[in-house]
Structure 1
Amino acid sequence: MSTHDDAGELDKIDTIAVAPSDFGLAGKHVLVTGGGRGLGQGIAVSAALAGARVTIMARSTDQLDETVRIIEKFDGDCGAHPADLSDIEAIPRHVAAIGERRPIDGVVHAAGVQVRKDAVDVSIADWRFVQTMNVEAPFFLSTAIARAQQADGRPGSHVFVGSLNSTLGLPRIAPYAASKTALLGIARVLSTEWSRTGIRANVIGPGYFHTKLTEDLLSRRENQERILGRIPMGRLGTPADLGGTAVFLLSDASRYLTGQLINVDGGWLAS
């Protein structure tokens, strides 16, 4: 039989311990951009397996359909929303359409582009293309989602995908490095503006993962050996490695974490 003191302690349990259910995403609706392939697909599948209702956004309907099939195979809940995020002015309409089906609780900005050139060879078109996709699209997508969350008085979690370049400079990717550094600044500003309404903003900094963006780099044996030699874990990252961190940041278990950069790099920056 419980005593009165025991009941009092149970009433305060949420202030002294995190419940296992807080690490899951049951009852949450999560939007993942770039969810048709690579890291975005891995994050979408991880979120669905954690119990979230997932909406994935990308240009390629075929890729989106593949992710939906994977998630549904494991009895997950996933819907596809084809969209071209380079059309910045259309973003509020996409958010409204997705939100009509179910309010958005969290978003992961996994879509991104890369241009590998020496800085002196980067054109204005190259620069604008990368900044549009990697900075403007996630910023205006998050602000549109947050506007709806604030109007409804709902909390939320916004997860931006940075890179090692959010912390250091690597050669031949000046536009990309600028964009990923910008995301860290954006997340910090949003965290200061939105925290009092329960909306959080954080950045995941992936190290080296074998994706479409790194395929040209890792296809060369000398590059792969050089990179693996810098990673204490001795291997490239997998989508599952990033998915766990994304699920944590989307979940209530990270409810007091905002404005932070979490590097998922196999120990690269520590070495």
Structure 2
Amino acid sequence: MLVTGAGRGLGRAMALGVAQAGATVVAVARTAGELAETAALAEPGRVHVLPWDLAAPDTADDLVAGAQRLAGPLHGVVHAAGIQHRAPAADFPADAWARILTVNLSAPFFLSTAVHRAQAARGESGSHVFIGSLASSIGLRNVAAYAASKAGVLGVVRTLAVEWAASGARVNCVAPGYIRTALTEDLFADAERAAWVAGRIPMGRLGEPADLAGAVVFLLAEASAYITGQLINVDGGWLAG
């Protein structure tokens, strides 16, 4: 299995969860040191590390080839890498907009197509798990580029699910709610705001990265063999309330 953004936060938790479930994982992120920390938390030999800059989507085929040299054929991919920039829409910087759309939307699209080509060449299929957000479904303030990328992810998921279903490939999206990660650190630095967010969540607490692992493992496994094109919200009940 290939997991991007695996150096920290949600990606690390997903990579470790998938490894704990018994899969061999290729962990991808820009920072080699963070990837080494992820691998050290897993059973020896279970997580291989592959430093890579996902801001260059045209290298997706090379990334897949490198991952397969490390761990053999890829049976699934989890697109956990993501970046954020907060600013009012009227003042949103063009360079931040472009980079967020590249990393959050273009990179997972082109990586999944590269993985799919490699799987099809072997006469196989696999599971592709994209990571969405509350912003895939609702409007949130000061995150226009992030919202555009995550709404776009949902469109990609549904399109690929329909295009690839006949081959047996499955494509789904897991959308976290408010989770404590580096991307939300600035948001929750305000204790009053953090308390308001937690109070708005029916389950009464902010999420932790490990809360995402179960849904991801399920979508990678044969237990979800008849599920494709779906959005699973892991949000403590936020959207239900």
Q: Which TM-score tier does this pair reach, normalised by the shorter chain?
A: over 0.9
Aligned equivalents of 1:49, 1:124: Cα separation in 2: 40
1:78-115, Cα deviation, whole Å (9 max, x unpaired): 10000001012222111112123401001100000001
Instruction: State the shift of 1:76 in Å.
Output: 5.8
Match of 1:70 in 2: 41
Instruction: Check conservation: 2:176, 2:212, Cα contact below 8 A.
Output: yes
Aligned equivalents of 2:35, 2:3: Cα separation in 1: 11
Give the length in aligned residue pairs.
240
Match of 1:164 among 115, 125, 134: 134
Match of 1:13 in 2: none
1:102-113 alignment to 2 at 5 Å?
A: 102-113=72-83
Match of 1:134 in 2: 104
Q: What SS does the corresponding residue of 1:55 show, helix, strand or coil?
A: strand
Q: Which has the larger radius of gyration?
A: 1
Question: In the alignment, does 2:185 pair up with 1:215?
Answer: yes
Instruction: Check conservation: 1:51, 1:76, Cα contact below 8 A.
Output: no
1:36-57, Cα deviation, whole Å (9 max, x unpaired): 1001000001000100000100
Match of 1:92 in 2: 61
Aligned equivalents of 1:49, 1:126: Cα separation in 2: 35
1:157-236 alignment to 2 at 5 Å?
A: 157-236=127-206
Question: In the alignment, does 2:220 pair up with 1:250?
Answer: yes
Match of 2:48 in 1: 79
Instruction: Check conservation: 2:181, 2:209, Cα contact below 8 A.
Output: no
Aligned equivalents of 2:68, 2:151: Cα separation in 1: 29
Instruction: State the shift of 1:128 in Å.
Output: 0.3
**TM-score normalised by the chain length of structure 2:** 0.98
1:229-269, Cα deviation, whole Å (9 max, x unpaired): 11000111112210000000000000100000000000000
1:162-193, Cα deviation, whole Å (9 max, x unpaired): 00001000100000000000000000000001
What RMSD over aligned residues (CA atoms) do the two structures have, in Å?
0.9
Question: In the alignment, does 2:91 pair up with 1:124?
Answer: no
Aligned equivalents of 2:147, 2:69: Cα separation in 1: 35
Match of 1:4 in 2: none
Q: What SS does the corresponding residue of 1:116 show, helix, strand or coil?
A: coil
Match of 1:259 among 226, 229, 234: 229
Aligned equivalents of 1:251, 1:142: Cα separation in 2: 17
Q: What SS does the corresponding residue of 1:160 show, helix, strand or coil?
A: strand
Percent sequence identity over aligned pairs: 52
Aligned equivalents of 1:138, 1:116: Cα separation in 2: 22
Q: What SS does the corresponding residue of 2:239 show, helix, strand or coil?
A: helix
Instruction: Check conservation: 2:61, 2:111, Cα contact below 8 A.
Output: yes
Runs of 4+ in 1 over 6 A off after TM superposition: none
Instruction: Check conservation: 1:228, 1:236, Cα contact below 8 A.
Output: yes
Instruction: State the shift of 1:199 in Å.
Output: 0.6
